[in-house]
A and B are shown apart, each in its own frame.
Chain A
C-alpha cells in the first residue's frame, strides 16, 4: 500500500506515525501513517469530512488553537517530532507555510504583504535595497513580478483573486519555508486562475515540498506527483498519481475517482 517505505533511501518531508486526532469526542483521524517525500507535490483527495484538511492542519499545528483538539501518535517534519515539548510553534510555522482556500492577503500594500513575514522574524528588517530584493525575488518566484512591479504600493486587495492567491504564496517565501501546505488553493478561482496557480505550483516543485488538499480530481491528476486518498479519517491509498488514477489498488478509491460518491 505504501510505496514510499519500499524505495529507500528517500528523503521524507513529513512522516505521520499512528496519528489519531479527536475534536472533543469526535475522532477525525484514525491511525494515519504517511510518508510524504521531500521536494514533491503530493495531493490529498477524498470526500468532504474525510480528514484531509485536518491532517493538513496538524502539520503546522494550527488546529491547536481550537483548544479541544487531542492528538495521539506523532508527526515528524524532516525527522523532527513537531509535537515534542521543545518545539517552538513560531519556528514550526516559519518552516511550514500554509495557503488557504480563500486568498487572504493582509489589507496593506503588495510590498508590505511580502515583507510581513520577513519583518516579524527579523529584529532588523534590513535597508531599503535588501527589502526591494526580497520583494522582487518572492514575486519572481510566483510569476507575478512583471505584472505588479509598477504598483507595489497598491493595496493587495485590489489584485484579482488569482493574483491574490499567488501573492499569498509569495509572502510565505521570504522566511524560507521548506514545506508548503495548500488547502484547496484554487477553489475560489475561475478556471483560468486555477490553471495559472496550478502552473505556479508545478513550477515550485523541487524547491519546496508541497502538500495540496483538493476536491478537484482533475487538479490532483494534473498537478501532483503522488496522491493520497483518504476516507472516514483513514488513509486508503498512497501511490504515484498516475498509478492511482489508472489502476487504483482499492475498490473505494476506484469508486471515488469515478465519481460514485463524494
Chain B
C-alpha cells in the first residue's frame, strides 16, 4: 500500500467543486433577503432622518398637514394596537389551549382548524369591509377605535392562535404525562406546567401580531381611523388618526408636503415595529436562558 490510498480521485474533485458552487449559491440567495431590509431602512433614514426630532413625535400636524409633527397619529396607533391586543390575545390563547390540549380529533376540531387557515388567508380589505358591516353598522359602534381594533383583532387572531398552539405543542409531552399520572387535572397541568414553559413562544406570536397590527391600513380606514382629527382620542368610542393611514395621506392625498415628511412618518412606524421586535427577542432570550430540558 502506498500513501495515495486516501488521495482524492477525479470524481471526488468534481464533486467537491459542485459542492462549493452549490453552497455559494445558497449563501447568495440567503443574503439577498437582507438586501431589501437594508435598502428600505437606508432610504428612509437618508430621506426622512432630517425631520426626526422630539418635536416631530410630540406635536400636532399643522398647516394642512404639511408641517408639524405626528403626535395624534402615533398615539392613535398605540390605542388601536393596545385595544386590538386586549381583544385578540385572551381569545387567541384560549382557542389555542382548547385546540392543543383539549380538542379531540373529530370533524368539529377540523372545522375550527379550517376556519383558522381561511381566516388567515382573507385579504385585509375584505376584513375592512366586514368590520364596516359588522361593527360600525350592525353593532352600531360607529367609526371608532373599538370598531377598528375589533377588525384588527379578528384579522390577527390566526397568527396568535397558530403561534400559541405551536408554543404549547413544543412543551414535551412527558411533562403532561408526569402531571396526569400524579392525578393532576388537565387544567392544573396546563396552568402549572404547560403554560409557564410556553410563555416565550406565545410572546413571539403576540409581538408578531403587534407588528402587523401597527402597519395595517385597509382594515382601519373604514372602521375608525380618520384623515385628520383636531382632537386626541379620549376613549375607545372616539375616532383617531393612525400612523399607517397618516403615511398614506401625506404621501398621496395632501399637496405641498415636503419630501422628508412622509419618509419621516414611515421611519417612525418602522422604528416602532423594530423596537417591539427587538424587545420581544431580548425577552425571549432571557426566558429561554432560564429553561432547560
Contacts and interface: CB of A to CB of B under 8 A. Distances in A.
B1 interface: no
A158 B193 CA distance: 18
B183 A121 contact: yes
A116 to B, nearest CB: 6
A157 interface: yes
B183 A91 contact: yes
B88 interface: no
A104 interface: yes
A261 B291 CA distance: 43
A62 interface: yes
B104 A120 contact: no
Contacts of A168: 178
Interface in B172-219: 172, 174-175, 177-185, 188, 192-193, 197
Given A107-B291, A120-B192, A155-B292, A93 B183 contact: yes
B107 interface: no
B175 A171 contact: no
A157 B192 contact: no
B6 interface: no
A175 B182 contact: yes
Contacts of B197: 107
B293 interface: yes
Interface residues of A, number: 29
Given A62-B181, A91-B183, A93-B182, A157 B174 contact: no
A67 interface: yes
Nearest to A68: B105
Interface string A98-125: 1010101111000000001100110000
B126 to A, nearest CB: 37
Contacts of A92: 183
A157 B183 contact: no
Contact of B180 (A65, A67, A157): A65
A102 B181 contact: no
A37 interface: no
Interface in B66-112: 104-105
Interface in A73-111: 89-94, 97-98, 100, 102, 104-107
A102 B174 contact: yes
A60 interface: yes
A120 B182 contact: yes
A107 B293 CA distance: 7
Task: Name, among A62, A98, A120, the residue most crowded by chain B CB atoms within 10 Å (CB to CB).
Answer: A120
A142 interface: no
B292 A104 contact: no
Nearest to A155: B292
A231 interface: no
A67 B104 contact: yes
Nearest to B292: A157
Contacts of B182: 93-94, 97, 116-117, 120, 171-172, 175
B258 to A, nearest CB: 56
Interface string B151-177: 000000000000000000000101101
Interface string A173-184: 001000000000
B183 A106 contact: no
B177 A104 contact: yes
Nearest to B181: A98
Contacts of A93: 180-183
A106 B193 CA distance: 8
A175 B193 CA distance: 19
Contacts of B291: 107
A106 B178 CA distance: 8
A162 to B, nearest CB: 17
B179 A106 contact: yes
Contacts of A105: 178
A155 B290 CA distance: 10
Given A155-B292, A171-B182, A175-B183, 20 more contacts: A65-B180, A67-B104, A90-B184, A98-B181, A100-B178, A104-B172, A104-B174, A104-B177, A105-B178, A106-B175, A106-B179, A107-B175, A107-B197, A107-B292, A116-B182, A116-B192, A117-B182, A120-B182, A120-B184, A157-B293
11 contacts: A90-B185, A91-B183, A92-B183, A94-B182, A105-B178, A116-B179, A117-B182, A117-B183, A117-B184, A172-B182, A175-B183
Interface of A: 60, 62, 65, 67, 89-94, 97-98, 100, 102, 104-107, 116-117, 120-121, 155, 157-158, 168, 171-172, 175
> Nearest 10 pairs between A and B by C-beta?
A104-B174, A93-B183, A94-B183, A117-B182, A98-B181, A90-B183, A104-B178, A120-B184, A120-B188, A107-B293
